[in-house]
Structure 1
């Protein structure tokens, strides 16, 4: 097999040049905010604050750590299911996230936190959380292209993905004043359709040359399940990290917790019903069990009620599992979309469900449920939105979903066209899903478990089944 050696030239150049650019841009634009600067002491005295606990760091840092673990461990290990691409799954996830958070701090800062007095971006702990959210969209997009693109292409995907995300986020959250604490629309819907469109543009008709690598083995599925469990445990923090202090964050945790639990049971049920002899498919368990967290993102801080959260998780688990069974093969065969990780089932459809649930919940909100002050605080009905009603807010929520879809599809088409240029050193079709193209891989005689040892188990799966 011929190995691609362009990485020796292109990847070091891109990493060095872009990191130096980050250093320069941070030197020009980025400064500490007042709560992370030494002026915090003066601020405490001026505002008669007696304890450091009122610093936003102590309130947000636990959630930041949980989200950070999801980005680097959860997403990374979830992508290790391919038998010969575990290094690429977790390693390139690391690369994308490390570059993406730096670029996100700049892009989001220019749109949201630029101080007009000195033209500097003041960052604190909440900026770090939002940068992780921004990177999550790019990692979702990576899932559709897993194993089929070069690391330089991934850096370009991240550069444009973060830029598009920052613009989309500004339009949805700042201009339309849409509520989307857990990012069903801003993160999941955008990231999924961004990645799916890129995968469609980069369609590889000869991918059958690597058919023997487009599946898992026993231990690779176990590693991927580690990622699932980390994501599942910390998803309540993801959906509540930037929610309003107090009741909003409390509801976001409860609602997400319940939706996740509900999606697990429905995923197990549909998976068992769909397989011979009632056995379970690990692909479904690794992915569709998380669909409740995605679908609960937008409405997580709303008064959707506990049983409403269970319904959202119930429906999203069914839709996601059925997507792996029927939609993924259809998309690859008919629509020419090769979705390696099945992000359409885990992020795209549940993200759209989340946007719709958020619009309906917002439109049906009332003072009898929220109270007058609660209604105003939950939906930020003040200043620019002071004259909005609940039904009007529902319409804006639906408009936010449309914006996320438009940015994902149009942005993916643009970036896909750029990535298709023959200058990025993308791997040949016969080199896809193989770590040896970009990594020093130790020899292991037991790397592939012979199928004869597992005659009744579907450990080596075709991409159509993934």
Structure 2
């Protein structure tokens, strides 16, 4: 007879967290807070990104009716660990040269945005992985993303803003690879607890609203102020793309419904597609109509993908994407990359320069996807080990596997 309760993680989770945090504290002896005048005025933007990472992504995953504690709680845990790990990895070069790792608001911002790639991937395995697996996923993904940044910056000389915004593509393909390797028998029939109700849908929509409100900051915070209108242009372009994608997502949701009604879970993911696509193509977007056209196309692509692609991915490739990561981040990210390519070629008068840029841009995508798939494969096989005590199928999407519920305790 199968065990009644999910296996205890006492011997896995507690020691792992203490070991990691002790290591981070020891590493902090090499930290040095750097006060740079150009980075003193970004605290408000820093808080906006915090709201997105902690509240936005945290509540976005609470649509599962019995997984609210885990979605929000594990999101904060993973974000805190991944940000510290990213700070250390980003400072390795400085530590090697100067013996110190310099920390300021900008470096923490970049680390937190790198951690966001792990939160994106977490959506693909949401409800099917325990916290130990999620922490390992975050550590390996952030390592791969920082490696990808280093390759793009050092070898291809990609602008910092362009390479950091590839986090959507990197996170989506990483998560899809992991969930494909961790495929569970019985996924085609569906999980009993993989459903949502009115209350969980409302909390999840709250996360989407937070993300929608603060996404302009996320896309513009790393834009340099050397040209005064560029940061303002990034904010305005992102807002316009988000506004268009919200309206378009509602329209597609109604048109694709058999009863002509709005689908809350479909909308909450697809209203963000414009922000994702414009973020990836930000440096090439100069006109409002360009941002609005990208937002419209991204919403159509994302909404259609959510409606039809998620089920087809499961049937054709045994890839169970819980939070529709491919439709929310992957497809809009690829659209943003393609829009960036088209806009740059359109604005280029020299055909030779245009061809060189196209080759360079294609190499950037290929490198990102290659590293993402490679690291995702390694992570997937590592997490598939029974040593991590993954939850049984009937305990997936259930908070009771990991959280205390005193009123439901069985008294002997």
Structure 2 distance, partners of 1:338, 1:423, is 22
CA contact (8 A) 2:187 2:320 kept: no
CA contact (8 A) 1:258 1:306 kept: yes
Deviation at 1:298, TM superposition (A): 2.3
5+ unaligned residues in a row in structure 2: which ranges? none
Q: 2:40 aligns with which of 46, 50, 57?
A: 57
* Greater CA drift, 118-127 or 234-243: 118-127
Q: 2:90 aligns with which of 104, 108, 112?
A: 108
Task: Describe the shift of the 1:67–1:125 C-alpha distance in structure 2 as closer, same or farther (beyond 3 A).
Answer: same
CA contact (8 A) 2:178 2:377 kept: yes
Q: 1:270-309 counterparts in 2 under 5 A?
A: 270-309=252-291
Structure 2 distance, partners of 1:115, 1:360, is 40
Number of residue pairs matched by the alignment:
403
Deviation at 1:352, TM superposition (A): 0.8
Structure 1 distance, partners of 2:345, 2:256, is 37
Alignment match, 2:214: 234
Task: Describe the shift of the 1:259–1:155 C-alpha distance in structure 2 as closer, same or farther (beyond 3 A).
Answer: same
Alignment match, 2:392: 428
CA contact (8 A) 2:31 2:101 kept: yes
Deviation at 1:365, TM superposition (A): 3.1
SS in 1 for 2:102: strand
SS in 2 for 1:122: strand
Deviation at 1:33, TM superposition (A): 1.9
CA contact (8 A) 1:364 1:391 kept: no
CA contact (8 A) 2:7 2:391 kept: no
Alignment match, 2:113: 133
Task: Describe the shift of the 1:30–1:365 C-alpha distance in structure 2 as closer, same or farther (beyond 3 A).
Answer: farther
SS in 1 for 2:387: coil
Deviations 1:125-172 (A, max 9, x none): 110110111110000000000000111011110111111010001112
Does structure 1 residue 404 correspond to structure 2 residue 406? no
Does structure 1 residue 26 correspond to structure 2 residue 28? yes
SS in 1 for 2:385: coil
Between Structure 1 and Structure 2, whose CA radius of gyration is higher?
1
* Greater CA drift, 401-410 or 233-242: 401-410
Structure 1 distance, partners of 2:65, 2:198, is 9
SS in 2 for 1:234: helix
Alignment match, 1:171: 151
Q: 1:153 aligns with which of 116, 130, 133?
A: 133
Deviation at 1:311, TM superposition (A): 0.5
Does structure 1 residue 6 correspond to structure 2 residue 8? yes
SS in 1 for 2:272: helix
Q: 1:305-454 counterparts in 2 under 5 A?
A: 305-366=287-348, 389=353, 391-441=355-405, 443=407
Task: Describe the shift of the 1:331–1:211 C-alpha distance in structure 2 as closer, same or farther (beyond 3 A).
Answer: same
- The alignment's TM-score, normalised by the length of structure 2, stands at 0.93
Q: 1:93 aligns with which of 63, 75, 79?
A: 75
5+ unaligned residues in a row in structure 1: which ranges? 36-53, 369-387, 445-466
Alignment match, 1:120: 100
Deviation at 1:80, TM superposition (A): 0.2
SS in 2 for 1:278: coil
Deviation at 1:396, TM superposition (A): 2.0
- The alignment's TM-score, normalised by the length of structure 1, stands at 0.82
SS in 2 for 1:31: strand
Deviation at 1:206, TM superposition (A): 2.5
Structure 1 distance, partners of 2:361, 2:46, is 26
Task: Describe the shift of the 1:399–1:23 C-alpha distance in structure 2 as closer, same or farther (beyond 3 A).
Answer: same
Deviation at 1:356, TM superposition (A): 1.4
Deviation at 1:391, TM superposition (A): 5.0
Task: Describe the shift of the 1:325–1:65 C-alpha distance in structure 2 as closer, same or farther (beyond 3 A).
Answer: same
CA contact (8 A) 1:236 1:293 kept: yes
Q: 1:140-219 counterparts in 2 under 5 A?
A: 140-179=120-159, 181=161, 186-207=166-187, 211-219=191-199
